[in-house]
Amino acid sequence: MTVQYKTEQEKFWATEFGCDYIGRNTVEMNLPSRLKLFSRILERTRDVTEIFEFGANIGNNLHALHALLPEAKLKALEINSEAVEELKSNKWMCEVHQGSLLESSFENSADLTFTSGVLIHINPDKLQKAYEQLYKASRKYVMICEYYNPSPVSIPYRGHEDRLFKRDFAGEMMDTYSDLKLIDYGFAYHRDPKFPMDDLNWFLMEK
C-alpha cells in the first residue's frame, strides 16, 4: 500500500533521505553533547517522570535522558520506519509510535514533551498543528531545541529547497498558548571545545 504524506517534508524524512540521516548521526557521536544539554534543562524542572519526544529518530536524546533519569518512562514518536525499529531495540523505551506529528494525538501523555531539530523541517503551513500536539501532550513542560531566527526564513538543506526553516518557534508557541511561560533558554555552539552541537537554541516552557 502506498503511504500518503500530508507534506513533501514528511515524505522526505520518512523515506530515503531520512534513512541516510540515521547513518550520519549515531548515538555514540552525539551522547556527550546531549548529556550536557539535558543536564542543564532538567535542572530547571521538577517531578519529571514521563518524557515524550516527537521526532525522535534513533533516540540520541532519549539515550541521554535515560542515563540522566533511568527511572523515567520514555516515549517516542517517529515517522521513519528504520528509526522506529532502532528505537524499539532499546528495552528501556516505554512506548514507540510510528507516525506523523501532524496526525497523531497524545493528550496528557507526559510531564515533558519536546522536539529537537524537528520543527525546522515541518512545512510552515502546518506548524500550528505541531505546536498543538506538543502542548496537548504535555502535562507540565514543553521544550523545543531548534534553529532560531527572529523572522521566518527558508534555508537550503543539503542541496534541497524548502526542507529547512528557521523562525521564533518558542515565541509563536507562547503567543498561541498564553499559559506557557518561559523558564529558561540557551544556545549550543558548534565550536564548543568539548560538547559541540549544531548551533541550536533551546527553550524550556512551563504550563
* 117 is a domain residue: yes
Could you give the CA distance from residue 66 to residue 83 in angstroms, rounded to a whole number?
Answer: 18
Higher model confidence: residue 137 or residue 102? 137
For 149-160, the pLDDT digits (tens) are: 999 999 887 666
Higher model confidence: residue 8 or residue 143? 143
Contacts of 132 (CB under 8 A, 6+ apart): none
* 1 is a domain residue: no
Higher model confidence: residue 101 or residue 180? 180
Question: Which domain range does residue 44 map to?
Answer: 8-206
153: left (phi over 0), alpha (psi -120 to 50) or beta: beta
Q: What is the CATH number of the domain that holds 98?
A: 3.40.50.150
Could you give the CA distance from residue 109 to residue 127 in angstroms, rounded to a whole number?
Answer: 20
* 3 is a domain residue: no
Q: What does each C-alpha distance from 105 to 3, 46, 97, 134, 179 come to in angstroms?
A: 19, 25, 11, 9, 20
* Total number of domains constituting the chain: 1
pLDDT of 2 > 60? The answer is no
Confidence label for 26 from pLDDT (cuts 50, 70 and 90): confident
Mean pLDDT (whole number) for 92-105: 92
3-class DSSP assignment, residue 126: helix
| Distance of alpha carbon 183 from the chain centroid | 18
* 194 is a domain residue: yes
pTM reported for the whole predicted model: 0.88
Q: What is the pLDDT of residue 62?
A: 98
For 40-87, the pLDDT digits (tens) are: 999 999 999 999 999 999 999 999 999 999 999 999 999 999 999 999
pLDDT of 4 > 60? The answer is no
* 178 is a domain residue: yes
Q: What is the pLDDT of residue 139?
A: 98
